[in-house]
Amino acid sequence: MLWIIITLLVIITDQLTKYIVVKNIEPSDMIPVIDKFFYLTLHRNPGGAWGIFQNNSTIFLILIPVIAIFVLITIIRNNDRFLRVVLALILGGAIGNYIDRIAGGKVIDFLLFYIGSYPFPIFNVADIAVTCGTILLAVYVLFIYKEPEKTEQGEEQNEE
């Protein structure tokens, strides 16, 4: 149940922030939040992170539902609460950006950070959720996950 709440919170927060930005910021605007470091802007991204696949957004229309279904099946089949939360972040972020692609063909990005004079690629709440979920998934796989023990008959034994 918690994973459903997290997924919905990510989607709602992502879509609400994008709606507010679209209604209040022009594409040419750069509104300083912390001058010379953090700005709000409006960018419609046809590709993925760092502009990958900008000329072939069809890949995302096909790939994201496949990944989302795989993540959903993994959530449903797994009883590990931490893993479910992590995958809910990824699922919510993927759905949030997918909604943009279906509605307008491009993902709405609006968070712009400068690292020195380098502008970090513009991103959104869904991207934050996917990134945090992916990092936590790596932590889970590397440090938390334990292979289920096999019984004498060779069947996996779930620990709960």
Nearest to 30 by CA among 42, 17, 20: 42
Residue 118 lies in a domain: yes
Residue 160 lies in a domain: no
What distance in Å separates the CA atoms of residue 69 and residue 72, rounded to the nearest whole number? Answer: 5
Would you state the pLDDT for residue 141? Answer: 96
| Domain range for 127 | 2-144
Residue 44 lies in a domain: yes
Q: What is the pLDDT along the chain (160 residues), one digit of tens a residue?
A: 999 999 999 999 999 999 999 999 999 999 999 999 999 999 999 877 666 656 666 777 888 999 999 999 999 999 999 999 999 999 999 999 999 999 999 999 999 999 999 999 999 999 999 999 999 999 999 999 888 777 777 666 555 4
Residue 13 lies in a domain: yes
What distance in Å separates the CA atoms of residue 93 and residue 68, rounded to the nearest whole number? Answer: 10
Helix 125-139 with 81-104: angle, nearest 10 deg: 150
Would you state the pLDDT for residue 27? Answer: 93
Q: Which residue in 14, 35, 100, 109 is the catalytic one?
A: 109
pTM score, whole prediction: 0.87
Q: Which residue in 14, 29, 100, 127 is the catalytic one?
A: 127
Please answer whether residues 39 and 30 qualify as being in contact, where contact means their C-beta atoms are separated by less than 8 angstroms.
yes
Q: 137: which residues sit within 8 A by CB, 6+ positions away?
A: 83, 86, 87, 90
Residue 105 lies in a domain: yes
Residue 18 lies in a domain: yes
Would you state the pLDDT for residue 88? Answer: 98
Our answer to whether residue 109 is catalytic in this structure is: yes
Residue 151 lies in a domain: no
Beta bridge mates, 40? 31, 111
Q: How many domains does the chain have?
A: 1
Our answer to whether residue 127 is catalytic in this structure is: yes
Q: Return the structure tokens found at 102.
A: 């279906």
Residue 56 lies in a domain: yes
Please answer whether residues 26 and 105 qualify as being in contact, where contact means their C-beta atoms are separated by less than 8 angstroms.
no
